[in-house]
Amino acid sequence: MGLAVRYAGLAALAAFAIFPLLWLLSIALRATGSVFGFPPQLVPWPVSAAHFVTVWQTMPLPRFFANTVLLCGAAVALNVVLCAMAAYPLARIEFPGRKLVAALLLSTLMLPGHVGMIVNFVTLLRLGLVDTYAGVLLPGAVSVFGIFLLRQAFLTVPAELEDAARIDGASEWGIWWRVMLPVIAPALAALALFEFVAVWNSFLWPLIVLKTPEKYPLAVGLLYLSGLFAHNTRAVAAGAVLMTIPIVVVFLFTQRYFLRGLTVGAVR
Amino acid sequence: MGAEARPARPAVRAAARVGRRGLTRRERRAAAVAYAFLTPALVLLGVFTFYPVLFGTALALFDYDVISPPRFVGLAHFRAMAEDRYFWIALGNSVKFLLVVPVLQGLSIALAVTVNKPVRGIRWFRAAYYLPVVTSMVAVGLMWRWLLEQDGVVNWLLLSIGALARPVAWLGDPDLALYAVMFVTLWKGLGFYMVIYLVGLQAISPEVEEAAVVDGATRWQVFRRVTLPLLRPSILLASTISAMAALKVFEEVYVMTGGGPMFRTYTMFYYIFDRGFQQLDMGYAAALAVVLAGAILALSAVNFRIFREGGWTYH
């Protein structure tokens, strides 16, 4: 097959994958005119940032942005620290019950997630955590996927490094913090990225837990705005673009982490 | 998976041999350290992952509206389901949604094979195909809702190439809405499964395929008889993930159709959400969740059987 044909095929597929995103950008950027109707105006001309200004100034978008950043930061920190703690003994220490703990954790990967939502909501009610960020964060604060991902990474750390630190009199905590974590930094980064994207985009659980619109993260807030401002498609589109840009930027700079296929390695 | 695959540190292992009965001092120390590291994670998983499995099953036997104390009703919820029209509608739609799995997997395999050949810039094409995966379902749902409008871009495109005679309200037509939602699931999922299959393809040594070519096999025969069978572990993994996701589909429905028109996109998970969180009928919702979990586990078991035990033999 000719190279030109190959590239034409790849480009057509790429158009299929990214055209909807470009179209979203296009309707957000065009100042006036209908979003619908034939033929659609694909190229935004004249270009205008008016809708971005509108959505930023008249809707509580900055607030939603700040909420999302806060939630993402906390979720990433919790997951990275707690998963790294749990994965360390599973990889490096032989202790009674290790196989049992590993099997127990593995069994959760087979369980259909989400089904625990109802009980988790009842638990949050009892703990008084409904409509709090703690309620949004705690059920997802440890990911079993993350534990297995980091366990794989800990397994690759050479024993000599650990032995040397032990001879120098380092504590277990010190070994974990000063010897192990720096070595597995790439795996920590991968987990942080996956968690960041997942939390940035998640809306079902925050929608259930949070009752006050001022506390909404972007994903829930945008949905809420799309109901309130249904007549203003272009402003809602601008909001969707603003929500998507940070993820696209992060993804483009870190794509190798996503395209290496961590799921397979972690489950096997 | 092998928790035992890696030898533990020699010193600690030696200690384990000495003290078979009762724990040695060293073992006790190792255990103390290990559980100190594990405790925060185990407590959180215990409360929010293991406890719901046990208590969720129990809750299905109670009436509970969050305000008054739970009242035991036995299997009444399960009996009520048999008569519950919405349950059957939701279950039917969720099962129908499984149609997306073979299509999505077939296209993802084709896509992975296409991008497996290294050409200049392939990295950026792969990234482009993956972009829908990292985009929020809220943004995706909103934009596809607009694209699929009666006077939206999709209709314009299909009309101008002559594939349609007149515009169609994809999400508003009771006969089409579910398929339109499935199409969006497909569009968003392709890149994710492409990566799983790419990893699988890259694990296949090129010599195997080359040997088949030397033996005079055509390109299609090599794919059919060599590549595809070797890809079976990836197919098992991907189709299990995909089937689980299809049965509990929610987000695309919530953003795009809200279960409509006329309940034609109302799915099991949507019904659980409605009953549990909108109507605060937690007991019935828990019973629905038990049924859904049962369906998901059964499906995964079937999937494992098909791909493990040569339901797909090639010789």
ipTM: 0.90
Residue B2 pLDDT class (50, 70, 90 cuts): very low
CATH no., domain A61-223+236-267:
1.10.3720.10
Longest dimension (CA), chain A: 75
* Residue B1 pLDDT > 50: no
B63 contacts B283 by C-beta, under 8 angstroms: yes
Query: How far is Cα B251 from Cα B261, in angstroms, rounded to an integer?
Result: 16
Q: Is the pLDDT of residue B20 over 60?
A: no
CB contact under 8 A, B138 and A172: no
Of A166 and B44, which is predicted with more confidence?
Answer: B44
Question: For residue B191, which residues of chain A lie inside 8 Å, CB to CB?
Answer: 17
Domain boundaries, chain B: 1-38, 85-136+179-308
A250-254, B26-30, B190-194: the lowest-pLDDT one: B26-30
pLDDT score for B179:
96
pLDDT for A261: 61
Q: Which two tokens stand for residue B229?
A: 């069978």
| Residue A8: Cβ within 10 Å count | 11
Quote the minimal CA–CA distance from B104 to chain A in Å.
Answer: 14
pLDDT at A230: 77
Assess whether pLDDT exceeds 80 at residue B5.
Answer: no
Percent of chain B topping pLDDT 90: 59
CA dihedral B266→B267→B269→B271, nearest 10 degrees, is 40
Q: How many Å apart are CA A183 and CA B99, to the nearest integer? A: 44
Task: Tell me the chain B residues in contact with residue A116 when contact means C-beta distances shorter than 8 Å.
Answer: 48-49, 52-53, 56
Contact B146/A117, CB-based, under 8 Å?
Answer: no
Q: Give residues 20 to 59 of A whose Cβ lies within 8 Å of B.
A: 20-21, 23-24, 27, 35-40, 42
**Is B125–A106 a contact, with Cβ atoms under 8 angstroms apart?**
no
| Residue partners of B214: CB distance under 8 A and separation at least 6 | none
Q: What is the mean pLDDT of residues B297-310?
A: 75
Cα(B140)–Cα(B153) distance, integer angstroms = 15
In the stretch 167-196 of chain A, residues with CB closer than 8 A to chain B read 172, 176
Least confident of A174-183, B10-19, B180-189: B10-19
More confident call, B43 vs A45? B43
- Min Cα distance B179 → chain A (Å) is 18
Across the A:B interface, residue pairs with CB atoms under 8 Å apart total 291
Residue A70 scores a pLDDT above 90:
yes
Mean pLDDT along residues B12-28? 62
Q: What is the pLDDT of residue A265?
A: 39
* Distance (Å, whole) CA A92 – CA B10: 11
* Helix (H) or strand (E) run with residue B71 in it: strand B71-72
C-beta atoms of B282 and A118 within 8 A: yes
For the segment A143-180, what is each residue's pLDDT rounded down to a tens digit? Answer: 998 999 999 999 989 989 888 998 988 888 999 999 99
Residue of B50, B130, B138 with shortest CB distance to A223 = B138
Instruction: Find the CB nearest A141 among B44, B66, B292.
Output: B44
Residue of chain A whose Cα is closest to the Cα of B59: A119
CATH architecture designation of domain B85-136+179-308: Orthogonal Bundle (1.10)
Q: Do residues A157 and A180 touch, judged by C-beta distance below 8 A?
A: yes
Task: Test B45 with A144 for CB contact under 8 angstroms.
Answer: yes
Q: What angle do CA B37, B39, B41 make, to 5 degrees?
A: 95
Q: In chain B, which residue's Cα lies nearest the Cα of A124?
A: B48
Q: Do B47 and A123 touch (CB under 8 A)?
A: yes
**Taking CB atoms and an 8 Å cutoff, what residues of chain B touch A139?**
48-49
Q: Is the pLDDT of residue A214 over 90?
A: yes
More confident position, A53 or B182: B182
Domains of chain A, by residue range, sit at 61-223+236-267
For B221-279, how does the pLDDT look when each residue is reduced to its tens digit (9 = 90+)?
889 988 999 998 889 889 988 998 999 899 999 999 988 898 999 999 999 999 999 99
